[in-house]
Structure 1
């Protein structure tokens, strides 16, 4: 089964059959040949990816994003640099998503650039209205809570990632992205709905939170499958990058949702 997260969609790495996972199930290990196929010059690592690897690298990427975000916040970089950071971040995301072998420097560069974007946007939102004081802290706390809840639901088996679940989530996410991108284009012609206010803004923000939350379950499943397959240790960077992308998306949707609720 493939993830709809392009970062985790490599079927040869993140597919079923096992090593060590989020759940406690019988462990098997992929043959050494599987681990040697990710580098044209030979094996990237003789060690398989582990859950600790994914957790530590995800934590590092989030620390980098928070650090650059804080710097952007206190430097008051403004929307101009935020837009540049968003475009650079998107470019790095595409490069990292489709590289055959993950590049830790490029992945960390993505986290740094994305942090600048998040810091600038977060400051702009919080300072735009006295009623929004503290909204960033609420969005960060909400992201952490949702992450913990989704992980607990996944580990307990309350949420099971099946083929049907994946297809429905992919279809819903594609439709959502088309709607939001189309609305952005309409704004160029002074049309469309206000994504940061009103009924449509509130509804789309709520939908975005739900979709991003469910994507966490999809990411957990793909990481689990990669670990089960005994994917090489370097792939933990790809897994961490995929989780970071989803966490950033969830944070932005929660920031939008809470901002609308508090401002209205």
Structure 2
């Protein structure tokens, strides 16, 4: 049950079960105080609205002539810090998850505005692609077309770790040397890499869906709904950014 998502890989989904062996069998469990799929979905929508609202701030700043770089970079850093805190302290997710949505929204809004200035119309295309990908993956999972087993999970996790390692090494080399990563530019190889990364990001959605469902079945604490919603939002943000990168490469070849 290990998802690649930094949230779902944490011990929270493995050690927070309400089914404590020390609890007497006669104990009545309040199911209104446990994690549910519907509750996680509702909180995901709340986070999405917060993200869109904060993204509008840096978006409007850009098109009103202001430089949003401070808020954009600051939002990314603070969002990452909130993710790390939540991994180790999932019980604080009801407070950290909304905060993540707000600060990550500042980052998304700034990045989106930059791409939109360079390639008009690219943002609506990336949003549409992300939305369609999510709906398709959700439908395939819901109706059992794609089943998450150990082999599926292992392949997706391994591929995602490989991507993360490649990105990290490429970034470090480009920072301190004249190395130009292969995925930069608009070559066919670069476009192919972006397509591959998008496929892996989409496959991570299946792991996220499965982990949320398993968490609800285990009757995890109610705050894990925020934890699950935050993890799902991380995957969607990653998917959206990768679509922006792919579409920009394709547009630059025209």
Question: TM tier, shorter chain?
Answer: 0.7 to 0.9
Corresponding residue for residue 197 of structure 2? 208
Show the 5 A alignment for 1:1-264: 1-10=1-10, 13=13, 33-34=19-20, 47-76=33-62, 77-128=67-118, 132-188=119-175, 189-193=177-181, 195=184, 197-264=186-253
What is the TM-score normalised by the length of structure 2?
0.87
5-14 vs 53-62, greater mean Cα deviation: 5-14
Q: Residues 74, 32 of structure 1: CA spacing in aligned structure 2 closer, same or farther, 3 A cutoff?
A: closer
Give the TM-score normalised by structure 1. 0.84
Q: After superposing the two structures, state which structure 1 stretch, 57-66 or 2-11, moved more.
A: 2-11
Residue pair 1:13, 1:229 contacting (<8 A) in 2 also:
no
Q: Which ranges of structure 1 fall in alignment gaps of 5 or more residues?
A: 16-30, 38-42
Compute the displacement of 1:91 (Å): 1.1
SS in 2 for 1:197: coil
Q: Distance in 1 between matches of 2:10 and 2:19?
A: 17
- The superposition leaves residues 92-132 of structure 1 with CA deviations (integer Å, 9 ceiling, x where unpaired) of 1111122141432211111111000011011111102xxx2
Task: Select between 218-227 and 72-81 the one with higher mean Cα deviation.
Answer: 72-81
Q: In structure 2, how many angstroms separate the alpha carbons of the residues matched to 1:207 and 1:178?
A: 15
Query: What displacement does 1:51 show?
Result: 1.8
Q: Relative to structure 1, is the Cα distance of residues 34 and 137 closer, same or farther in structure 2, using a 3 angstrom cutoff?
A: farther
Q: How far does residue 10 in structure 1 lie from its aligned partner after superposition?
A: 4.8
Deviations 1:119-158 (A, max 9, x none): 1011111102xxx211101111111100000011111222
Contact 2:174 2:180 in 1 (8 A): yes
Change (3 A) 1:35 1:4: farther
Give the count of matched residue pairs: 242
Question: Which consecutive unaligned segments of at least 5 residues does structure 2 have?
Answer: 24-28
Q: Please identify runs of 4+ aligned residues in structure 1 that moved more than 6 A.
A: none
Deviates more, 1:59-68 or 1:227-236: 227-236
> What is the CA RMSD across the aligned residues, in angstroms?
2.6
